[in-house]
């Protein structure tokens, strides 16, 4: 109805979204503080190139991925096509930033003569990135681009939702492995003495877990799911008719 106000968000949703963003920004600041104060900062084609890796992974695979997952909870009353596009765009940006981080660490290892892909962190991290890329490509193919039928989209959607949340959790776990590995490489002898760098890095790990828990809670609340708009229901019926040859009022087989 023209001039009608948009329905209010469910109670508590806005507060949790705000908390998630505060946690996300805090973990980015904490990552920058750790790398800047204790690891010398960030630079390309220098001994500091390695530091590009943790910064890009936290920014891309955690913060931006988490925000991409929240799109359908935050933008509840906008056109679904626009919401889908933003969801895909944020995931795509996260992938590009993560790729920069992967290139940085491989180039650094090559320069220093360090072996690649031998640690649990690297195995899980590469698996997370490849699966995330596959998830993004399948999501674009099924939901953003034309071609997939209504029933095919319906069958794939539960897998897309599950693996989206699972890959987000895996990305956080990989970051925790990376933080621990980096601390053991750099301050192995003093880590157990509660030195300031170790405490700051551990705090970053706690922030990563907290961010993941808040985002995960928002995503798993059924009553906070984005409700379909009236025009979207009509378009869905039209799309089903076009792709499967059923009339909106007809019975299913």
DSSP 163-208: HHHHHHHHHHHHHHHHHHHHHHHHHTTTGGGT-HHHHHHHHHHHHH
Q: Which residues of the chain carry a pLDDT beneath 50?
A: 1-2, 234-235, 238-239, 242, 246-253
Q: Tokens for 246, please give them.
A: 């059923």
pLDDT recorded at residue 227: 86
pLDDT recorded at residue 228: 80
Closest CA to 74 of 35, 139, 141, 21: 21
Closest CA to 23 of 204, 225, 238: 204
pLDDT recorded at residue 91: 98
Instruction: Tell me the C-alpha to C-alpha distance, in Å, between residue 25 and each of 32, 72, 94, 97.
Output: 11, 20, 15, 16
pLDDT recorded at residue 184: 97
What is the number of alpha carbons within 13 Å of residue 113 lying toward its C-beta? 0
Q: At what angle do helices 196-220 and 65-74 cross, to 10 degrees?
A: 30
Class of domain 13-243: mainly alpha
Q: Phi first, then psi: what are they for 190, rounded to 5°?
A: -105, -5
DSSP 139-164: HIIIIISTT--HHHHHHHHHHHHHHH
């Amino acid at each position: 109805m023209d001039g009608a106000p948009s329905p209010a968000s469910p109670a508590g949703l806005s507060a949790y979204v705000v908390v998630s963003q505060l946690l996300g920004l805090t973990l980015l600041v904490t990552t920058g503080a750790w790398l800047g104060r204790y690891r010398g900062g960030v630079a390309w084609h220098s001994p500091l190139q390695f530091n590009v890796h943790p910064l890009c992974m936290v920014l891309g695979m955690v913060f931006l991925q988490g925000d991409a997952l929240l799109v359908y909870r935050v933008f509840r009353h906008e056109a679904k096509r626009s919401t889908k596009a933003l969801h895909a765009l944020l995931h795509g940006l996260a992938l590009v930033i993560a790729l920069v981080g992967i290139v940085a660490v491989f180039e650094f290892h090559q320069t220093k003569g360090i072996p690649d892909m031998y640690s649990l962190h690297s195995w899980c991290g590469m698996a997370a990135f490849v699966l995330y890329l596959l998830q993004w490509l399948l999501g674009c193919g099924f939901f953003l681009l034309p071609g997939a039928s209504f029933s095919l989209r319906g069958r794939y959607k539960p897998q897309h939702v599950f693996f989206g949340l699972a890959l987000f959790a895996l990305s956080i776990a990989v970051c925790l492995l990376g933080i621990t590995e980096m601390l053991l490489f750099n301050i192995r002898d003093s880590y157990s003495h509660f030195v300031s760098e170790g405490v700051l890095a551990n705090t970053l790990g706690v922030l990563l877990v907290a961010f993941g828990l808040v985002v995960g809670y928002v995503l798993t609340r059924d009553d906070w799911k984005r409700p379909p708009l009236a025009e979207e229901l009509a378009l869905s019926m039209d799309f089903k008719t076009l792709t499967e040859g059923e009339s909106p009022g007809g019975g299913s087989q």
